[in-house]
Amino acid sequence: MSFICSKTAQLESNPNEISCAVKGIDYKICFFPSVHELPEEWNYIANLGSTFVQKPYLRALEAAPPTDMRFGYLLFHKNEKVIGLACLQTTVFKADASLNDSDPNASIFKKAGESIKKTVSKTIKIPLLIGGSSLVTGENSYVFLEEEIPQKEWIELWHEGLVHGQKCLNAIGAYTNGFFLKDFFEDKTPAHSAVLHGSFIKLSAQPNMIFHVKPEWETYDDYLAAMTSKYRKRARSARRKGEVMERRIMDEKLIEAFSERIHELYKFVAENAGFNLFILHPTYFLELKKELGDLYQMTGYFIDNELVGFNTLIKSHGDLDAHFVGYDPIHNQTCKVYMNMLYDMIESAINAKVKDLIFARTAMEIKSSAGAVGYPMSFYLKSNNRFINFIGKQMYDILEPEADWVPRSPFK
């Protein structure tokens, strides 16, 4: 295996800075332990990326972090010019706490498999440095200026930054002994990177479900008209069943007033997911609204003034990201809460005239029945524990929730 970085040296003046030569060109990597310490030059690069690398979102996340999560930030310089940035997170991966795929109606053979999973999962507890965002699907945690450094080279530079960031975080008590790099579209450069291919375990992830808004759609009715009769009837049926619900755009005061119920509804969904790396902080949604303002929209679904569901949308780089949702499972059966959320978010995307609505992963078949397309993704894992590296792929195959779904296409 060949590395492009030929030398790394700690700069005596600042232990949080290192120099690194990539193909004969010198770079400097600076680490910051908090968003509040980031210099103004961070904004220059962040404004070219998604909302999830910009200071308002990072402040909200730091103010209401998931349990055991710490943060770090990297700035990359070339000839004293900032050419890239990356966000880091730390977490302790506890497999038994992350898996939620028990099925009371499972067959004897499936129950035996679940028993094996539980036994294996109890032995796995890995403090990880996350190169990426565990709260968002997609390439939302790093930005590099392509005119300053080619893709294949910035991946190597990014890797050097991750190693440096891990050392800095370890020094302030946020200890990790492994790397979890996420998420990469399968057709992107990292899949062919020597440093990732040679030293990391490549793992597949559930696809990122993306809804492409067609430019000729002016209204939601145009979207319905593009559907086949079968799927149009389904959409209208779901909407009729959802008419009993009142939609309210939740401002800061309303989110604060219903914060406990919002967290309860979120947990109904999160704790029934096949895999869950974390549980959100109870005030996360409120902090998002405080920091993001109009870039963030929460829609509440009410029946007789009872909140039975909510969805969230974040405007990001010309797209809309469907963030977390929550709903009462009983009302979901009778009122089709989740399906109504999908159609409402699609209507919002059409009205906002965005290019894409990022639905992220989970519930792939339902999302595809509304028109979303699944894009395969991968991530990379490396532990300082040689045994975990050796059995990592096999271990992942055992623990990975089943993703048995059939892609649908509702359009003519």
pLDDT at 3 over 50: no
Mean per-residue pLDDT for 36-61? 97
Q: Could you tell me what percent of the chain has a pLDDT over 90?
A: 64
Q: HEC profile for 184-242?
A: EECCCHHHHCHHHHHHCEEEEEEEEEEEECCCCCCCHHHHHHCECHHHHHHHHHHHHHC
What is the predicted pLDDT for the residue at 203? 81
For the chain, domains (ranges, CATH) are 5-206+377-399 (3.40.630.30), 209-375 (3.40.630.30)
Q: Tell me how far apart the alpha carbons of residues 361 and 403 are, in angstroms, rounded to a whole number.
A: 10
CB neighbourhood size of 134 (10 A): 19
Of 191 and 253, the structure prediction assigns the larger pLDDT to 253
What is the predicted pLDDT for the residue at 1? 29
pTM for the full model? 0.89
What is the predicted pLDDT for the residue at 216? 97
What is the predicted pLDDT for the residue at 119? 56
Instruction: Specify the range with the lowest mean pLDDT, choosing from 39-53, 94-108, 134-148, 260-274.
Output: 94-108
pLDDT at 105 over 60: no
Residue 360: strand pairing partners: 209
Per residue in 116-131, pLDDT tens?
555 555 556 789 999 9
Q: How confident is the model at residue 22 (pLDDT cuts 50, 70, 90)?
A: confident
- Of 130, 37, 69, 99, give the one whose Cα is nearest residue 284: 69
Q: Tell me how far apart the alpha carbons of residues 77 and 14 are, in angstroms, rounded to a whole number.
A: 15
Distance of CA 312 to the CA centre of its chain: 14
Per residue in 354-396, pLDDT tens?
999 999 988 999 999 999 999 988 888 888 777 666 666 666 6
Q: Tell me how far apart the alpha carbons of residues 295 and 271 are, in angstroms, rounded to a whole number.
A: 27
What is the predicted pLDDT for the residue at 199? 77
Q: Helix (H) and strand (E) counts for the chain?
A: 15, 16
